[in-house]
């Protein structure tokens, strides 16, 4: 049985929960539910008539939209390359900075610095480096790497975005890895060394298993950030040349706000949400199952 609550209790509930509940419902829940509905319609964002067309949008996307498929494939390849490189670099930086270095704190600041600047501005910074800086370095040094047509074709566009993403994100994950490495118990490491374990064995058999919780977090964040990548893509390549470096997020944006096919755009957005949710769930399951305690 529920007790009758006095008016003041209801008012308290309204004052404390109300603002968060209303703004969250209005900004997140309603658009989320509306999006599900619109994905089954031919809504064009302008005219008042919205017709229900069943699975029409999904059929169109899956069987008749090579651009979407290409952006899906591009985003998947980008995610794999960027997630691996970012985490490997971040982990190496964390290992370096957990040594008793004299310049440890300034170095931590430097590695973290790109992360506080937004992806859009970073993309523009690197556009200059790729288009003007690299050729100039190439002329001075004659290293072929710098003389590639950076951002001018599909391959250099792809790796250009990967490089900037890694540069931007490594410092963030480094901070998480450092926090985890500091908590690895020293006696376990000493015991392993006394038992004659090689440095590689200590790293892969002891340190890595013990910091798996950080790996879970970093992989989760890296995977979802790479799949959501939009700003860097827009400011570095705008998806070009010829849509060869167009991410999923950019494809959804273009479909809705440039082609005015809002129904189709929301259907893509729904597929996008489901894909990200499935991939990150699988990843968290796998890495969590490998977490151990010292």
Partner 1 sequence: MEARQRYTAGTLVVEIVAVLLGLLFLVPFYFVIVNSLKTFAELLTDPTSLPTALQWSNFSNAWRIMKFPTVLTNSLVITVLANLAIALISAMAAYRMVRHKTRFNRLFFSLLVAAMVIPFQSIMIPLVRVARTVGLFDSIPGLIVCYMGFGAPLSVFLFHGFVKSIPHEIEESASVDGASAYGTFFRIVLPLLKPIAVTVILLNSLWIWNDFLLPFLILQSPDLRTIPLATNSFFGQYTKQWDLALAALVLGITPIVIFFLAMQRHIIEGITAGSVKG
Tokens of 7: 């008016």
Structure tokens at 166: 């890694």
Taking CA 191 as the corner, what is the angle to CA 186 and CA 291, rounded to the nearest 5 degrees? Answer: 65
Structure tokens at 261: 């096919």
Question: Which residue of 58, 159, 228, 241 would you call a contact of partner 1, by CB under 8 A?
Answer: 228
Residues 137-166 touching partner 1, rule: CB under 8 A, are: 137, 140
Size of the site for partner 1 (CB under 8 A): 96
35 lies in the binding site for partner 1 (CB under 8 A)? yes
Q: How is residue 156 written in tokens?
A: 């250099």
Q: Which is nearer to partner 1, 74 or 272 (CB)?
A: 272
Work out the angle between the directed axes of helices 262-289 and 212-227 (0-180°, nearest 10).
170
- Under a CB-based contact definition with an 8 Å cutoff, are residues 98 and 178 in contact? yes
Q: How large is the C-alpha radius of gyration of the chain?
A: 24
List the interface residues with partner 1, window 57-86 (CB under 8 A): none
Tell the smallest beta-carbon distance from residue 285 to partner 1 (Å). 14
Kindly state the smallest distance separating residue 146's Cβ from partner 1, in Å.
11
Q: Based on the shown chain and the rule CB under 8 A, indicate whether residue 253 belongs to the binding site for partner 1.
A: yes
Where does this chain touch partner 1 (CB under 8 A) — which range of 52-60, 80-88, 252-260, 286-294? 252-260
Would you say 45 or 154 has its CB closer to partner 1? Answer: 45
Q: Which stretch binds partner 1 (CB under 8 A): 52-60, 76-84, 153-161, 231-239?
A: 231-239
Task: Please state, in angstroms and rounded to a whole number, the distance separating the CA atoms of residues 211 and 222.
Answer: 16
Nearer to partner 1, 114 or 239 (CB): 114
Answer yes or no whether residue 215 interacts with partner 1 by CB under 8 A. no
Site for partner 1 in 97-126 (CB under 8 A): 97-103, 106-114, 116-121, 124-126
Closest approach of partner 1 to the CB of residue 235, in Å: 7
Q: Is 202 an interacting residue with respect to partner 1 (CB under 8 A)?
A: no
Establish if 221 lies at the interface with partner 1 (CB under 8 A).
yes
The stretches of 134-261 forming alpha helices (DSSP H) are: 134-141, 154-182, 186-194, 199-201, 208-210, 212-227, 231-236, 248-257
Does residue 273 belong to the site contacting partner 1 (CB under 8 A)? Answer: yes
Query: In angstroms, what is the minimal distance from the CB of 29 to partner 1?
Result: 7
Residues numbered 179 to 198 that lie near partner 1 (CB under 8 A) are: 179, 181-186, 189
Distance between first and last Cα of the chain = 47
Whether cis (ω within 30° of 0) applies to the bond prior to 25 is no
Region of 59-67, 77-85, 131-139, 149-157 interacting with partner 1 (CB under 8 A): 131-139
Inter-CA distances, 294 with 12, 104, 175, Å: 46, 27, 21
Q: Does residue 241 have a cis peptide bond before it, meaning omega lies within 30 degrees of 0?
A: yes
């Amino acid at each position: 049985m529920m007790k009758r609550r006095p008016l003041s209790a209801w008012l308290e509930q309204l004052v404390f929960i109300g603002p968060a509940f209303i703004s969250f419902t209005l900004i997140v829940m309603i658009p989320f539910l509306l999006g599900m509905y619109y994905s089954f319609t031919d809504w064009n964002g302008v005219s008042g008539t919205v017709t229900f067309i069943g699975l029409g949008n999904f059929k169109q996307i899956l069987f008749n939209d090579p651009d979407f498929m290409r952006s899906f494939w591009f985003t998947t390849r980008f995610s794999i390359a960027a997630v691996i490189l970012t985490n490997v670099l971040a982990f190496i930086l964390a290992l370096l900075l957990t040594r008793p270095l004299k310049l440890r704190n300034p170095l931590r600041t430097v590695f973290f610095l790109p992360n506080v600047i937004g992806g859009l501005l970073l993309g523009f910074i690197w556009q200059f480096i790729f288009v003007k800086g690299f050729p100039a370095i190439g002329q001075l040094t004659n290293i072929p790497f710098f003389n590639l047509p950076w951002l001018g074709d599909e391959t250099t566009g792809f790796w250009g975005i990967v490089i900037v993403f890694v540069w931007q994100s490594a410092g963030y994950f480094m901070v998480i890895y450092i926090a985890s490495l500091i908590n690895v118990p020293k006696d376990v490491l000493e015991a392993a060394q006394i038992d004659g374990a090689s440095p590689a064995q200590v790293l892969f058999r002891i340190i890595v298993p013990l910091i798996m919780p950080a790996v879970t977090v970093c992989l989760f964040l890296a995977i979802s950030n790479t799949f959501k990548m939009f700003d860097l893509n827009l400011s570095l390549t705008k998806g070009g040349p010829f849509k060869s470096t167009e991410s999923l997020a950019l494809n959804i944006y273009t479909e809705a706000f440039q082609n005015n096919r809002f129904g189709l755009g929301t259907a893509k957005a729904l597929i996008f949400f489901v894909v990200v949710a499935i991939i990150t769930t699988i990843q968290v399951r796998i890495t969590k199952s490998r977490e151990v305690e010292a």
